[in-house]
Amino acid sequence: MTWDYHLKDYKKQANVDPVWHLERMIRYGLGGEKIRREDLKKYLPELKIAPQQKIFLQLLLDETHSPHPGTKKRHQGRRP
């Protein structure tokens, strides 16, 4: 596959424009890199991605449904 940019230019652009970098990661894969939750939360409204992708990412960020560390469990205690 041929790339439309050099790696050095990509890294420079990614540092200058985090929205551009997040869009590229979402569209073309993460390449072992992880998206920081804080960045996704901050820039999600600005991302130009497919509506289905945006909805999915919003669901992942929704703390009432996302079972990640730090989220309070919905059901406290035992079931009868």
Look over the chain and give the mean of its residue pLDDT values, rounded to a whole number. 77
Is residue 53, in this structure, part of any structural domain at all? Answer: yes
Q: How confident is the model at residue 32 (pLDDT cuts 50, 70, 90)?
A: confident
The domain in which residue 28 lies consists of 7-61
Given a cut of 60, whether residue 36 has pLDDT beyond it is: yes
In a domain, 73, yes or no: no
- pTM above 0.85? no
Note whether residue 79 is domain-resident: no
Provide the domain count of the chain. Answer: 1
Mean pLDDT along residues 10-24: 76
* 67 within a domain of the structure (yes/no): no
The answer to whether residue 44 sits within a structural domain is yes
Quick one: pLDDT at residue 1? 41
Residue 77, phi-psi category: left (phi > 0), alpha (psi -120 to 50), beta (remainder): left
Residue that is written with structure tokens 């993460």 in the block: 30
For residue 28, the model assigns a pLDDT of 84
**Helix ranges restricted to H, 1-80:** 7-16, 18-28, 37-43, 51-61
Does 80 fall in a domain? no
- CA separation, residue 45 to residues 54, 71, 77 (Å): 8, 23, 37
Give the pLDDT of residue 56.
Answer: 93
